[in-house]
Structure 1
Amino acid sequence: MLKFFRRIRQHLLSENKLSKYSFYAIGEILLVVIGILIALQINNWNNERNNDKIEQQYIARLVNELKKEIKTYERLRDGFERQNQSVQNLLELWKEDNPVVKDTAKFWNEFFAGSGAGPWHKEPVIWTQLVQSGELKLIDDQESIEALFTHYADVKSTADNYREYPTQTTNEARKLIATTFAETDFLLNPARRGRKPPSEALDAVFLNKDQYRVIFVRVAIIASIHIGSMEQLI
């Protein structure tokens, strides 16, 4: 098309027909402008298609992340329920004047299950990446975006509001356990780890049962609160 206009232009110039040449020159310019506009429009379409593709990929990854989170919260809830039950069993045993441990393996499983009550929160990878990179704007569904903002704000608030107390309780429990086991080589000897603690360790725990009762009551409270938190997040 441009070659056609050029031939006409050269012919008109050779015949000194300036007015007609001007007309065709304008037509040639308009054609170039139209070509540029078409190219820009095609580029915009390509960008939109690419953005749509990226949007769908992010949505799929967000959905997958949320599904994994729900499974994690379910697993944590079940773990806190088991922990709570283990602690309740120990507290009932320590209420007795002369407690007798009939199953030492079960006792130690419940004992160590109740010795930790640390924080559980982890930052969502995909959501954090979207927010920090600014690519959140690629997702058009603003209602879903607002719902996700609310969800993750609730998760973080729940975790932050109850982070210090569990960490403090866990540290105190581990310190007491280390002190109790100091008279044995159970914690120091790698060969003995993973096995049942010796009988003198059991005696040491019962000598300090009042201290353990105080800490394990706190662990039970924390576990109960965590169970409720997980139920709300599922």
Structure 2
Amino acid sequence: MIKLFRKIRQNLLSENKFSKYLLYAIGEIVLVVIGILIALQISNLNEQSKKEDLRKNYVNSLKKDLESDIVLLEKQISQFASELKIHKSLSERMSASNANFDTIRKIARYEFHPFFSPSNNLNFSTYNALISTGNLDLLQTDIREKIQKHNAEQIETLETIELNFKLCAELGYKYTNNYPINIEFNAINGKQMNSVWEEINENKLKTNLNGILTNKITNYNMTNRVRQRLVDKTKILIEEIISSEK
């Protein structure tokens, strides 16, 4: 093709047809410009296609993270609900009309554990990747704003739970220092601890056990409420993401 254009130019010049040569030269320039514009357009389309593919990958990854969060939160809620049921049962037994100090002492020694699972995490990998790469703007404006708001609510929820966990853990630590509960990793167990429990002050044990058990019941109730609220909001956000992609 290039050889053909060159031959045409040479023929026009040899025949002294300058005006035709000029028109031809202009036409050739126009064709080159059009070619460049077409190439740029194709390049832009390819770039847009790459960005769209990247955006879809991020959206799918965000959706998977949110779905994983729901599974994780519902598992934590179920675990706390089971433990809460046990704590309430202990409370009812110790509050029964036929309960005495021996009932409370046996429960404190053999059944009540002040420990709990501190599991308190969510999936931020995709969101953090969007922030660190500056690709958050790839998302549609309304979805981007909803995801940012949801992330803020996730962090607030985790911080609220973490604060309550710390308070509960501090109470548990103090309680186990005063009352040697029956766990396998105690340095001393069995009959050697009988004298300790026989001489424990009744009112002091009741006060301390009531305090930590009440704290755990309250903490578990509050934690499950905020977790369930986050589950509900996460499900709504997933539906909004799905709708935005249709």
TM range (shorter): 0.7 to 0.9
For residues 200 and 87 of structure 1, the distance between their equivalents in structure 2, rounded to whole angstroms, comes to 27
Name which of 220, 225, 238 aligns with 1:223. 220
Query: Within 5 Å, which residues of 2 pair with 1:129-168?
Result: 129-140=129-140, 142-168=141-167
Identify the range of structure 1 (211-220 vs 28-37) with the bigger mean alpha-carbon deviation: 211-220
- Aligned to 2:101, the other structure's residue is in SS state coil
TM-score, length basis structure 2 = 0.74
For residues 174 and 202 of structure 1, the distance between their equivalents in structure 2, rounded to whole angstroms, comes to 21
Identify the range of structure 1 (121-130 vs 25-34) with the bigger mean alpha-carbon deviation: 121-130
Q: Paired residues, what number?
A: 220
Counterpart residue number, 2:126 = 126
Counterpart residue number, 2:51 = 51
Question: Which residues of structure 1 form unaligned runs of 5+?
Answer: none
For residues 18 and 163 of structure 1, the distance between their equivalents in structure 2, rounded to whole angstroms, comes to 85
Which amino acid letter does the alignment assign opposite residue 82 of structure 1?
A: S
TM-score, length basis structure 1 = 0.78
State the Cα deviation string for residues 80-111 of structure 1 (Å, max 9, x = none).
2122222223334444323448x98xx54xx3
Query: Within 5 Å, which residues of 2 pair with 1:15-164?
Result: 15-95=15-95, 96-100=99-103, 108=111, 111-112=112-113, 114-116=114-116, 118=118, 120-140=120-140, 142-164=141-163
Q: Does 1:232 align with 2:235?
A: no
For residues 219 and 166 of structure 1, the distance between their equivalents in structure 2, rounded to whole angstroms, comes to 9
- Residues 55 and 139 of structure 1 are in contact (CA less than 8 Å); yes or no, is this contact kept in structure 2? yes
For residues 94 and 226 of structure 1, the distance between their equivalents in structure 2, rounded to whole angstroms, comes to 24
Query: In percent, how many aligned pairs have the same letter?
Result: 26
State the Cα deviation string for residues 109-129 of structure 1 (Å, max 9, x = none).
xx33x4236462335211221
- Aligned to 1:163, the other structure's residue is in SS state helix
**What is the alpha-carbon root mean square deviation over aligned residues?**
3.2
- Residues 69 and 122 of structure 2 are in contact (CA less than 8 Å); yes or no, is this contact kept in structure 1? no
Question: Which residues of structure 2 form unaligned runs of 5+?
Answer: 232-246
Which amino acid letter does the alignment assign opposite residue 164 of structure 2?
A: Y
- Residues 68 and 123 of structure 2 are in contact (CA less than 8 Å); yes or no, is this contact kept in structure 1? no
1:115/1:188 CA distance change after superposition, 3 Å:
closer
For residues 98 and 178 of structure 1, the distance between their equivalents in structure 2, rounded to whole angstroms, comes to 21
